[in-house]
Structure 1
């Protein structure tokens, strides 16, 4: 049985500049566990030889595997491998592990001068239990994703505020 495709999107807004937000979310050292509650590194970063000197080059050469603890009690292990980096505006990535597919994060400045971060996911669960339960548990999985994303948004907002206050 093939799992159903999940099209998931989130939109976060920050008072910080686009560059400040980019510097945190596109950190080649993947410090997401520093600001995202329930997120931990599942294993050390994997890095192929870097072809250029910029952070974008390092990011393209990096695969990060992170664990996310969902509000429903399960943990997902997801790998992220950037395939397109347009600093400080967009990163496109392939996802693997418990969710297979792709995603995209776009940063822009809205009319209020705030940074808007739009996150798009097109993934399928790969674990047998999620694939089996997907037809009936889809609303629960979608709810858990939304709750996890709200935690990430709050964590990033607080992290950016602490960074701004320390300058």
Structure 2
């Protein structure tokens, strides 16, 4: 049985500058657990040797494996390896682990003075139970993804507000 392809999108808007949002989401230390509720590092970061010193080069050399606790009670372990970094605008990455495929995050600054973050996922589950349940559970998995993303958006908004208050 071929696993179902999930084509998932989210759009987040922040009152912060594009650079402020970029500095948090594209930090080579992948400190997402600092702001994303239900997200933890599954294992230490993997970093290719012979990397440059710039943030872009470090990000491109890094693979992070993160655990995400879904609202339905299961945990997904997903690895992220950036393949294209266009600072401070776009990151394209390969996903592995429990979800395999590609993702893309694009930041833009519309005329409103805010920063919009558009997130695209094209992934297939790799674990057998999700593959078998997808024909009937796809709506529940999509709901769980949306709830997880909402927690990430709220966490990032609160984190950015705390960072702005420290300035």
Give the TM-score category using the shorter length: over 0.9
Query: In 2, Cα distance between the equivalents of 1:99 and 1:75?
Result: 11
CA-to-aligned-CA distance 1:111-165 (integer Å, 9 cap, x gap): 2110000000000000000000000000000000000000000000000000000
Please say if residues 92 and 105 of structure 1, whose CA atoms lie closer than 8 Å, have aligned partners that are also in contact.
Answer: yes
- Structure 2: gaps of 5 or more residues: none
1:26 alignment partner in structure 2: 26
Per-residue deviation at 1:50? 3.9
Where does 1:65-80 land on structure 2 (aligned, <5 Å)?
A: 65-80=65-80
DSSP-derived class of the 2:71 partner: coil
Q: Which residue of 1 aligns with 2:163?
A: 163
Larger deviation: 94-103 or 46-55? Answer: 46-55
Judging changes above 3 Å, is the alpha-carbon distance between structure 1 residues 105 and 50 closer, same or farther for their aligned structure 2 residues? farther
1:93 maps to 2:93: yes
For the Cα contact (< 8 Å) 1:14–1:116, is it kept in 2? yes
SS in 1 for 2:158: helix
What secondary structure sits across from 1:149 in the alignment? Answer: helix
Which residues of 2 match residues 41-60 of structure 1 at below 5 A? 41-60=41-60
RMSD between aligned residues: 0.6
| Deviation of 1:2 (Å) | 1.1
Number of equivalenced pairs: 167
1:136 & 1:63 partners in 2: Cα distance? Answer: 32
Whether the aligned pair in 2 keeps the contact of 1:50 and 1:57 (CA below 8 Å) is no
Normalising by structure 2, what TM-score?
0.99
Partner of 1:84: 84
The runs of 5 or more residues in structure 1 that have no matched partner are none
For 1:51 and 1:78, locate their aligned partners in 2 and report how far apart those are by CA, in whole Å: 23
For 2:104 and 2:114, the matched residues in 1 are separated by: 20
Q: 1:76 to 1:53 in 2, by over 3 A?
A: same
